[in-house]
Chains A and B, each alone.
Chain A
Amino acid sequence: MSSNISSLTLLRSLYQPQQAFAELAGSEPSARRIFLSYSLWLLLLPPVFALIGAANFGWRLGADQPLFMATGDLLTISIGYFLALLFGLFSTAIISRWMAKTYGASVSLGRHMALITMVGQPLAMASVAHLFPDVLVNVLVLIPATIWGMYLLYAGIPVALETPPERGMLMASALMAWLLVAAVSLLGISMSLWVLGVGPLLGV
């Protein structure tokens, strides 16, 4: 029996996280419904903002001249960005559920999907900074969003997934390890792709 977690609940986690987590607790929502009605649209924001920003303003990695890329390349990168985010959401939710038994957490995939969506939501919203694709501006906006997301992870797991506090902390740290590894892998894979030719011209 699946209870419905509304999009409002997911949105509410931005400004009333404790209530949102409490609503999640005890529910068994449909992972597919949550993804199709909310997470999918949230994940579209960063690539779309990035595409608009890069096309209109060019990439600024620091020094004054912005880099403009061909529209084809930009589209490829945006699609790649979206696919990476999709992978990130699904893999984290699935890994989170895989860990659930070890930490005495709920095994409802829908709940994990909802929680991970909530954790990533601040970053997705903050990606509006991509509209002006200056690396520094993005770093300054995305760091507080990241820290807020980290807080949601540690605060959310014990309540939403109904674990005892100590186990919840352990589980959050384990997921943190996965997220760090995923982030740095993204960095490495992006570098490798850029060096291999997808992106601005590099003299290697």
Chain B
Amino acid sequence: MQAADNKIYQDKIVIRLIQFSVVWAVIAIGAGVYIAAELVWPTIDFGQYWLSFGRLRPVHTNGVIFGFGVSALMATGFYSVQRTSHVPLFAPRLAWFVCYAWQLIVLLGALSLLAGWNTTKEYAELEWPFDIAIAIVWICFGVVFFGTIAQRKIKPIYISNWFYGALIIVIAMLHVVNSLALPVSIDKSYSAYAGAQDAVVQWWYGHNAVGFLLTGGFLGMVYYFLPKIAGRPIWSYRLSVVAFWAFVYAYIWAGPHHLHYNAIPEWVQSLGVIMSVILLAPSWATLVNGVMTVSTAWEKLRTDPALKFIVLSLAFYGLATFEGPMMAIRSVNVVSHFTDWTVGHVHSGALGWNAMITYGTFYFLVPRLAGRELHSTRLANIHFWLAFSGTMLYIIAMWAAGVSQGLLWLSIDGLGELSFDFKDIMASMTPYYLLRLIAGLVFLLGTVLMAYNLFMTLKGQRSVKVTPPAVDPAYGVNA
């Protein structure tokens, strides 16, 4: 047996990133609730530009994706890459820099958005100084992550690392290309791309930000934590290999489904449809792998809340990755484009999949990191039902609103005249927006309960010191 190093895993940084992630979740979901309320009562910005819907919306989206989401991915990525490599983090000081620099970017970024620094490109609204900062910090993230892998004591690189790795590499590529612009002043730049060309580049970026950050990165979470909790290996290695490469290849092409019937070449739109539908296969292959992994080891499962969240998140993952390809089909897209159905689809993924798998993983991780039981299992179970019903209410309200809008906008009478005025259609959406606001409040409440629960669990605890265990020589680097 190889002797284990006397070094311990770098877990304090994992705890810190989880703390930041939870704080961002509360703030950014809170911002979401506020703008949902503004869609019901538009005067609650009180005439202040920094409370205006247009300025708050990107604070919400950036907050959840880059604050909540990326911090969670960094936390779980750092945790799992160490353990699958059997070495502590490479360049720990650089890792701490990544942790804090990232939080600074998100915080200052949010403030800049309120001040009106805005490229208007979705999920890339931050202006050029932030783009440069993001690129630098992201490269450091890659160095720490791949550096750890390069120093591993186990020969094969475990599959969760492929997904986190793809997250790092592809987001870097997308960010650099899409952010190209000529600065005018510190707070303003003009895009290197114009018009229809910019549209295609933007949605190559936008769709794949969803694909590799919100889908790929979190699949990395699934591939590590699900077998961990189930106490069994992934159900099918072969399936995971095929699914991974098919996923990386296919996702990139699907961007144009955001631009159906828009002024871009037909062939690009059609490619987007075909590849979006093909994408269903690798998405669901991963789902099957996850479900079967858990199913074969049921006797190891306890009815702890972590598992409930993770298992249900897979169901919503299935929904979202099915609904996406379906909405990419032109005859459905004709009705859904520009409507709240798109918003519903986004949130079935964001709430049902991303948030829930993160919450489940945090409920599993935090007690382990703190070396004590979760503060309150009862609160976590209550959270589960709040998250579940909040998500369902959100989705149903937006499906109803979106389908209504889409059909009413297109509705003509026997003489070919429009049946309804735009403003009348939108005025009738208020009840759905109210339902959605309630859904958001319910979901936020659950999140707040979790924040309390996790912070109480961590309170006063030092992180548990874990030494990398010895490696079976059959899999060692010298094997």
Contacts and interface: CB of A to CB of B under 8 A. Distances in A.
B319 interface: yes
Interface in B50-90: none
A176 B301 CA distance: 20
A103 B298 CA distance: 8
B407 A61 contact: yes
Contact of A147 (B389, B397, B425): B389
A150 B311 CA distance: 15
A196 B331 contact: yes
Chain B, interface SS category: helix
A147 B326 CA distance: 25
A147 B388 CA distance: 10
B331 A195 contact: yes
Given A194-B407, A195-B334, A65 B314 contact: no
30 contacts: A62-B405, A63-B424, A63-B428, A65-B420, A102-B295, A135-B404, A139-B397, A143-B393, A147-B392, A165-B303, A166-B307, A167-B298, A170-B301, A173-B312, A173-B314, A173-B315, A174-B291, A174-B315, A176-B315, A177-B287, A180-B315, A181-B318, A184-B322, A185-B326, A187-B399, A188-B323, A188-B326, A192-B332, A202-B410, A203-B411
A64 B332 contact: no
A192 B416 CA distance: 20
Interface of B: 287, 291, 294-295, 298, 301-303, 307-308, 311-312, 314-316, 318-319, 322-323, 326-327, 329, 331-332, 334-336, 388-389, 392-393, 396-397, 399-400, 403-408, 410-414, 416, 418-421, 424-425, 427-429, 431-432, 435
A200 B410 CA distance: 10
A195 B260 CA distance: 15
Contacts of A176: 312, 315
Interface residues of A, number: 43
Interface string A148-187: 0010000000000000111101100110110011001101
Contact of B411 (A143, A146, A170, A200): A200
A187 B428 CA distance: 20
A95 interface: no
Contacts of A135: 400, 404
A169 B412 contact: no
A175 to B, nearest CB: 9
A120 to B, nearest CB: 16
A201 B315 contact: no
Contacts of A64: 424
A177 B314 contact: yes
B427 to A, nearest CB: 8
Contacts of B326: 184-185, 188
Contacts of A203: 410-412, 416, 418
A191 B335 contact: yes
A132 B160 CA distance: 51
